[in-house]
Structure 1
Amino acid sequence: MRKYEVMVIIDPDVDDRQVTPLVEKHLKTITDGQGTVDNVDVWGKRRLAYEINKKPEGTYVVLNLTAEPAVVQEMDRLMTIDEQIMRTKVMRPDAH
């Protein structure tokens, strides 16, 4: 099991009330794979450095997870397919 930090940028058209259920749907992949969700930090809407899909802003969510690499890879793959998620970035905070 390794620790991961996942930055997710969600489409700004997704209602604020829908952000948490959307993130929890994808976090189910982690819990089903015996991983743990250590922290979910919703930053809210922020301006992007450059437009993604012709949108100038997105809703930022930072996830701290502990899971096997394959489980995190599968969650990232499912998030990439999801139309409501514009970008994901998986990082290992302990890897220098």
Structure 2
Amino acid sequence: MALYEHIFIVRPDVSPAQMESLLEETKALIEEKGGKTGKIEYWGLRNLSYRINKSRKGHYGLIDIDAEADVINELERLQRLSEDVIRHMTLRVEAHTEEPSAILTKKDDRRGRRERN
């Protein structure tokens, strides 16, 4: 099995609770097809670099996946069909990291600076 990082962006009018359930549904799909999931991160509502489907913001999610290519193909097919998902990208990686992603680390650094002032 190969290692992947799957990042997807969901419409801004979706609630954070719905986004969490979408992450859980994605995890269930991967495990149902015989894959394994590593860390799952919800990055929150973030600004987009450019408009996508008239949206300037989106909910970001990241999932580390250990699965065969057919599982990834099915996941991407379902996300293309979903009306909530506005973008997705799957990258093959050499190894997963246990530490939080750079986005979450950056967010934690900002909180620390605000508390010092």
TM-score by length of 2: 0.77
Alignment gaps of 5+ in structure 1: none
Greater share of residues in strand: 1
> Does residue 1:91 correspond to 2:91, yes or no?
yes
Q: Distance in 1 between matches of 2:33 and 2:71?
A: 6
Q: 1:70 — aligned with what?
A: 70
Q: Distance in 1 between matches of 2:46 and 2:72?
A: 25
> Does residue 1:58 correspond to 2:61, yes or no?
no
Query: In angstroms, what is the RMSD of aligned CA positions?
Result: 1.3
Q: Distance in 2 between matches of 1:94 and 1:50?
A: 30
Q: 2:111 — aligned with what?
A: none
Deviation of 1:56 (Å): 0.3
User: Identity rate of aligned residues, in percent?
Assistant: 34
SS at match of 1:92: strand
Alignment gaps of 5+ in structure 2: 96-117
Q: Residues 24-54 of structure 1: CA distance to partner in whole angstroms, max 9, x if unpaired? A: 2222221011111111011001110100000
Greater share of residues in helix: 2
Q: Structure 1 counterpart of 2:11, which letter?
A: D
Q: How many residues are aligned here?
A: 95
1:1-96 alignment, distance < 5 Å: 1-94=1-94
Q: Distance in 2 between matches of 1:26 and 1:65?
A: 10
CA contact (8 A) 1:10 1:85 kept: yes
Structure with bigger RCO (C-alpha 8 Å, 6+ apart): 1
